[in-house]
Amino acid sequence: MNKNHIFIIGPSGVGKTTVGELVAKKLNYKFVDLDVEISNRLKKSISEYFLKNGESQFRIIEREVLLELAAIEDQSVIVTGAGSVLNALNIDTMKSSGTIVFLNAQIKDIVSRVRNDGNNNHRPLLNGDLESNVTKQFKERLGVYEIAQDISIGTSNRDIEAVSNAIIRQFERFSGEKSDIGSKIVVGEYLASDIAEIVSRYSSTFIITQENIPLRVSLYNTLKENDIIFHEIIVPDGEEAKSFNTYESVLNKMAELKANRSSCILALGGGVVGDLAGFVGSTFMRGIDVVQMPTTLLAQVDSSIGGKCGINISAGKNMVGTITQPKVTFSDIAYIQTLQENDYISGLGEVAKYALLGNLTVKELIEENHQQILARDVSILIPLIKSCMNHKVHIVSRDPFERNGMRATLNLGHTLAHVLEKITDFKFDHGQAVAVGIRFICELSLDLDLISKEQRNEYISILDILGLGLTVPAQAKEIGALKMVDYMYSDKKSDGLLNLVLFLPGGGVELTQDVDKNIVIEALDRFIV
Ligand SMILES: NC(=O)c1ccc[n+]([C@@H]2O[C@H](COP(=O)([O-])OP(=O)(O)OC[C@H]3O[C@@H](n4cnc5c(N)ncnc54)[C@H](O)[C@@H]3O)[C@@H](O)[C@H]2O)c1
């Protein structure tokens, strides 16, 4: 199906047709009016058909015609009838074949526009007392429009030109970024206004964050300029934030501040904040929307995508949580500039992972621009981060709940990394532990004749040029290979087996569970000296 149509929804009289025609003209798209198409098909006006056959019969025809229009090849602006969203299947059809734009207006403006229109033959449901019928219908349908929309545009106090320009701006920003997992990704620099636009749709915004994030102040200024109601909730630094105590105190604070189901959470921070805030969002009042704004490199390329969120308990890290996709993830590159060097390098561990998973764009960007990457050059960071995020979305959309082994391949290097984090009491940063874990997988894959020496060297050079030539922590040697491998078997994702993502001879990786334990011990013994 064509995934790039623009569907315009909204109440009668809001100006869908006039605006839709102008948007189509500006974008050089085909313009189609669903009601006109239905009328042509029926060879009579919609009012006449309604009178004779009733609404339910009309909705059946409306569904058939919508399906046909959604399948047309030409990119189109498709204006729908005010009631087309009443059938949830229509919303699904629109979502899967384009972007849904909700044209909204104040009731008084809608009433006056409908009245001035003079010709309400095609609006049979508004016959009678116009003002009260328009008001009643708008109130009844508002909730459905809000659920259906990808983009909401206000039309009161704006002329057609301004409305059509606002639609095009938003559509261009979001349509290309729409992911298959139902959430959107925006990558850029200084995205505060875009964030304000998204959170303005909620009654209030709860920003879960940490003291260490300097640029948050400028975001707050933009939110204030846009009259956004927001509350800041500061959580501790480090894994302590992912505890039951912090989780409970955040929930209580939100309840105290009267958060409700139309509030949203803005997770403003690294992976720790994202994991905690995502879990709060997925459980507060049985779930409210979460917008992720990852501020570390690791969170931008990895943890903010895919919906995994949660907290730690004494039995293990990330043992309690959910998989709930955020509404939007905004990766603002400006935040990368204020990161401590070790946190930046830690993120590069995950970036290197994508190159080694077979992402040629990431590999080429690293090989050709590693100096600029290390210097945090924005012009390289934007395509690099975008490509990593898209890679993760692509994998997660095919295995959102980690059931068929596809998502598990993202754990390249992670089985050993988790053990290294555990034995160093999480002093060894996650991304750096992943880089060491990947080095080990290179050695093991070579031992198993899965890759050649040249391939091993090529993979390791990707880590080297990014400054990930890390040494194994001393604790590993103290504990010894035998015990370390036992720990690897008890990884929470292992089910008593040894999960290893290994390189494949022709390139790419595969999740395996049947490597001989002794071969792993032997390889690790050599690796940790
Ligand atoms: N959900 C997932 O899929 C997933 C995947 C990987 C890792 N994780 C989790 O992510 C966490 C690690 O994330 P992390 O590496 O981002 O660590 P982190 O969140 O602890 O951030 C590292 C440090 O950077 C600071 N910081 C954040 N943004 C900053 C900025 N812009 N400028 C200056 N300082 C800033 C933080 O306050 C913190 O002190 C772990 O808890 C891990 O379990 C989750």
User: Going by CA atoms, what residue is nearest to atom 12 of ligand 1?
Assistant: 271
In the numeric block, which tokens belong to residue 47? 């009012």
CATH number of 5-175: 3.40.50.300
Q: What is the pLDDT of residue 1?
A: 47
- Identify which of 223, 243, 227 has the alpha carbon closest to the alpha carbon of residue 235: 243
279 Cβ inside 6 Å of ligand 1? no
CATH topology of domain 388-527: Dehydroquinate synthase-like, alpha domain (1.20.1090)
Q: What distance in Å separates the CA atoms of residue 460 and residue 281, rounded to the nearest whole number?
A: 39
The alpha-carbon radius of gyration of the chain (Å, integer) is: 27
DSSP per residue, 263-294: -EEEEEESHHHHHHHHHHHHHGGG--EEEEEE
- Range 184-339 has CATH code 3.40.50.1970: yes
Mean pLDDT along residues 61-90: 91
Q: What distance in Å separates the CA atoms of residue 462 and residue 55, rounded to the nearest whole number?
A: 63
pLDDT, tens digit, 9 for 90 and up, residues 352-385: 999 998 888 899 899 999 999 999 999 999 989 9
pLDDT at residue 227 is higher than 80 = yes
pLDDT at residue 107 is higher than 80 = no
The amino acid occupying position 89 is L
- Identify which of 128, 11, 169, 163 has the alpha carbon closest to the alpha carbon of residue 80: 11
pLDDT at residue 135 is higher than 90 = no
Could you tell me which residue, 510 or 84, shows the higher pLDDT?
84
CATH 3.40.50.300 occupies which residues in the chain?
A: 5-175
- Block residue for tokens 């997770």: 267
Atom index in ligand 1 nearest the CA of residue 338 equals 32
Alpha-carbon distances, residue 428 vs 275, 295, 435, 477 (angstroms):
19, 20, 11, 15
CA of 239 to the centre of ligand 1 (A): 9
Atom index in ligand 1 nearest the CA of residue 429 equals 15
Q: What is the DSSP letter of 299?
A: I
Query: Out of 122, 370, 386, 407, which one is annotated catalytic?
Result: 407
Is residue 407 annotated as part of the catalytic site, yes or no? Answer: yes
CATH 1.20.1090.10 occupies which residues in the chain?
A: 388-527
Residues of the chain with pLDDT > 70, as a percent, come to 94
Instruction: Give φ, ψ of 136 to 5 degrees.
Output: -65, -45
Q: What is the pLDDT of residue 124?
A: 63
CB atoms under 10 Å from CB of 108, counted, come to 12
210 Cβ inside 6 Å of ligand 1? yes
Is residue 16 annotated as part of the catalytic site, yes or no? Answer: no
Q: What distance in Å separates the CA atoms of residue 174 and residue 291, rounded to the nearest whole number?
A: 14
Query: Out of 141, 308, 370, 439, which one is annotated catalytic?
Result: 308
298 Cβ inside 6 Å of ligand 1? yes
**Torsion on CA atoms 67, 72, 77, 81, rounded to nearest 10:** -20
SS (H, E, C) 241-255: HHCHHHHHHHHHHHH
- Identify which of 102, 79, 104, 61 has the alpha carbon closest to the alpha carbon of residue 5: 79
Is residue 418 annotated as part of the catalytic site, yes or no? Answer: yes
In the numeric block, which tokens belong to residue 197? 């636009």
pLDDT at residue 398 is higher than 50 = yes
353 Cβ inside 6 Å of ligand 1? no
CATH 3.40.50.1970 occupies which residues in the chain?
A: 184-339
pLDDT at residue 397 is higher than 50 = yes
Ligand 1 pocket mutation pick from 296, 305, 412 by most atoms within 8 angstroms of CB:
296
Mean pLDDT along residues 170-193: 74
Query: Out of 43, 286, 403, 453, which one is annotated catalytic?
Result: 286
Query: Out of 327, 353, 430, 439, which one is annotated catalytic?
Result: 430
pLDDT at residue 139 is higher than 80 = no
| Bridge partner list, 330 | 186
Residues whose CB is less than 8 angstroms from the CB of residue 247 and which lie 6 or more positions away in sequence, other chains included = 276, 279, 280, 311
443 Cβ inside 6 Å of ligand 1? no
CA of 195 to the centre of ligand 1 (A): 20
- Identify which of 509, 147, 137, 518 has the alpha carbon closest to the alpha carbon of residue 354: 509
Ligand 1 pocket mutation pick from 343, 409, 414 by most atoms within 8 angstroms of CB:
343
Ligand 1 pocket mutation pick from 211, 243, 298, 376 by most atoms within 8 angstroms of CB:
298
Could you tell me which residue, 126 or 484, shows the higher pLDDT?
484
User: Going by CA atoms, what residue is nearest to atom 18 of ligand 1?
Assistant: 270
Query: Out of 5, 113, 414, 456, which one is annotated catalytic?
Result: 414
